[in-house]
Structure 1
Amino acid sequence: MLADKLAAGGFFVVIPDFFYGDPFVLGEEGFAAFPGWIKHHGTDKALEDAKPILEALKSKGISAVGAVGFCYGAKVVVELSKHDFIQAAAMCHPSFVTLDDIKAVKVPTQILGAEIDNMSPPEVVKQFEEALAAKPEIKSRVKIFPKVEHGWTTRYNDEDEAACKAAEEAHQDLLEWFLNHVK
C-alpha cells in the first residue's frame, strides 16, 4: 500500500526481500526466538545485498535514490546514508540504529518515531534529532507521533480511525520528504 503511494507520487519503487521469505514472526515464545533469527538475517547482510540493487538501478539510468527503512530496515538505510549510495534517507520506528550511526549520515535524513517504542524510545529519537541538528549542512526532519506504538506505519488496525490517521500522516511525510530530496 505504501509502495503504491510512493509510486503514485512518481517514484520507481523497489522492495527487496532481505528476509528471503523468512520474516520474524512473533510466536508463543515472544521475542525469545529473535536472537536466533537475527543471527541468520543480519542487517550487515542486507546492506551488502542492497548494493547490487542500487548498482542495477544506476545502470538503468536512475540517478537519484531514496531509501526508507522500517524497524530493522532503518539500520540498513542508515548504513547506506553514510556513503554515496543514496541521496535521501527515511526511517520509521527504527531499530538497531545508534547515535553514532546518525552522526555519520551524509544525506538528507528523516526519522519518524513512535511515542510508545522500546526499540527507539522518544528520548533516543530526540538524541538523533540533536545529532542531526548539529549538522546544518544535512537537511533533516525528526517527528515523534503521539499515542502510537513501534510499527505503527505498517502494522495498524484498519478499523482504528486514529491508527489509520497516524499511518496516513507518516505516509504523506515520507512522500513529501522524497519529493523534496530525491531529484
Structure 2
Amino acid sequence: MRECCIKGFKWDGQPKGHETSLSGNNSYVTGTNSSVAILVIHDLFGWTFPNIRLLADSYAEEANATVYVPDFFGGEVLPSEILCKDPSQWGPLNLGAFSARNSKVVREPEILAFAKGLRVQYTHVAAIGFCYGGWAVFRLGAKENAGLVDCISTAHPSWLTKEEIQDVGVPVQIMAPEIDPVFTTELREFANRVIPSLGLAYDLQYFPGLEHAFAVRGNRENEAEMKGLERAKDAAVYWLKQWLH
C-alpha cells in the first residue's frame, strides 16, 4: 500500500441501511431485493467508513439490489481523521503492519466464504471493490471460482497482479484514473490487452486528470472530482444492472 491509498475526503450524508451479521462477518446492509445482491469490498478505511455506505445506498436504489458491505478487517478500521493529513501527522499508524494483518492470504478465505453465503441466498450476485477491494473482486471472479459471482467491477484496484487479471472468468469493469501509482499505466494496458482475449465482456472507464481513490474518497467541493465520482457511480450502476437483471 502507498500513501495514495489513504488520502482523500470524507463525505457528508446519513447512510440509510442497517448492520447485521452474515458468514461470521459484521456487515452494513441496504436495499430490499430478495433475488439480487451486490457485495461491496471496502478500501483501507473499512466497512464503517461513511463514503462506502453512501455508495452502497446508491447501488441499492439505482441498481435495484440488496447491497452488503462486510467487515473484512476483523473489526479494525483506520481512523478517518488521517484523511487530508500529511504522513508526518499520522501518529502511531503503521501501514505496513496493518497491510500484513489484512493480507491476501489472511482475508481471501473469508471473502470467498461471504460470497458463497450470498450465493446461497440470492439468484444473482455481483462484486465491486475499491482500492484494497480491487484484488479481491478479481479473486471472486476467477475461473477457479466459477459461479460465485455474475460480474465484477473495481475502481483504482490495489494489489492486483497480472496473474489475477489473466485468471478472471466473468464480465469485468475497471474504473481507472489517469494518476495512479498502484494500478499503473502498464497494468491498465495489460488488462486492456488480456481481458478481451479471454472472450469476456469488458468495460474500461478512464478518468483523465483524476487520482487514485477518487471514486470513493473524491473531493465533492472540487468540480472535476465531483463529476468523476458521479460518473464512476453511474457507470458502476449501469454495469451492475446489465448483468444482474
Normalising by structure 1, what TM-score?
0.90
Q: 1:142 aligns with which of 204, 221, 225?
A: 204
List gaps (5 residues or longer) in structure 1: none
The 1-side partners of 2:167 and 2:88 are apart by: 38
The 1-side partners of 2:133 and 2:96 are apart by: 17
Aligned to 2:108: 47
Question: Is 1:20 paired with 2:74?
Answer: yes
State the Cα distance separating 1:120 from its structure 2 match: 0.9
Q: Deviations over 1:87-142 (max 9, x none)?
A: 10111101111111111100001111110110012232121111112122x11111
Aligned to 2:240: 178
Moved over 6 A (4+): none
Question: Is 1:107 paired with 2:175?
Answer: no
Q: Secondary structure at the match of 1:111?
A: strand
State the Cα distance separating 1:143 from its structure 2 match: 2.1
The 2-side partners of 1:175 and 1:116 are apart by: 23
The one-letter code sitting in structure 1 at the alignment partner of 2:112 is K
Which structure features the higher share of strand residues? Answer: 2
State the Cα distance separating 1:29 from its structure 2 match: 7.0
The one-letter code sitting in structure 1 at the alignment partner of 2:203 is R
Aligned to 1:131: 194
Aligned to 1:116: 179
**Cα RMSD over matched residues?**
1.8
The 1-side partners of 2:215 and 2:149 are apart by: 22
Q: Do the aligned residues in 2 keep the contact of 1:43 with 1:72 (CA within 8 Å)?
A: no
Aligned to 1:63: 123
The 2-side partners of 1:72 and 1:98 are apart by: 13
State the Cα distance separating 1:24 from its structure 2 match: 4.2
Aligned to 1:2: 55
Distance 1:57 1:127, change over 3 A: same
Normalising by structure 2, what TM-score?
0.69
The one-letter code sitting in structure 2 at the alignment partner of 1:63 is T
Q: Percent identity?
A: 26
Number of matched pairs = 180
The 2-side partners of 1:51 and 1:98 are apart by: 18
The 2-side partners of 1:134 and 1:79 are apart by: 19
State the Cα distance separating 1:22 from its structure 2 match: 2.2
Aligned to 2:7: none
Q: Secondary structure at the match of 2:72?
A: coil
The one-letter code sitting in structure 2 at the alignment partner of 1:21 is G
